[in-house]
């Protein structure tokens, strides 16, 4: 189904870091788009921007959670090789 980036996580110390988890990347994109939508809403004088700010907060928390989860998974994974 495509490259998931799993092979890079077994690299030796000092090599390139593993790629950002896909769900964290999607949540970060949603966060940035929600902030942009909020700015546009407020500039147009529409109070619907408050909803976009709330969505940006949820998305940023999701991105933070998935990044921390991936870091914890890498720390607890047994080293083989």
Answer for the pair 19, 11: CB distance below 8 angstroms, yes or no: no
Q: Report the predicted TM-score, pTM, of the whole model to 2 decimal places.
A: 0.70
Work out the pLDDT band at 19, boundaries 50, 70, 90.
confident
The model's pLDDT over 21-65, given as tens digits with 9 standing for 90+, comes to 899 999 999 999 999 999 999 999 999 999 999 999 999 999 999
Using a 10 angstrom Cβ sphere, with 0-12 exposed, 13-18 middle and 19 or more buried, the burial of residue 77 is exposed
Comparing 66 with 16, the larger pLDDT belongs to: 66
Q: Is the pLDDT at 4 greater than 80, yes or no?
A: no
The residues, ordered by sequence, that sit 6+ positions from 56 with a Cβ below 8 Å of its Cβ are 31, 34, 35, 38
Q: Is the pLDDT at 20 greater than 80, yes or no?
A: no
**How many residues appear in the chain?**
81
What's the CA gap between 58 and 68, in Å, rounded? 15
């Amino acid at each position: 189904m495509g490259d998931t980036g799993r092979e890079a996580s077994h690299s030796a110390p000092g090599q390139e870091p593993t790629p950002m988890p896909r769900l964290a990347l999607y949540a970060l994109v949603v966060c940035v788009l929600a902030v942009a939508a909020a700015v546009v809403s407020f500039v147009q004088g529409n109070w619907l921007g408050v909803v976009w700010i709330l969505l940006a907060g949820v998305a940023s928390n999701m991105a933070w959670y998935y990044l921390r989860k991936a870091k914890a998974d890498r720390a607890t994974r047994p080293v083989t090789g």
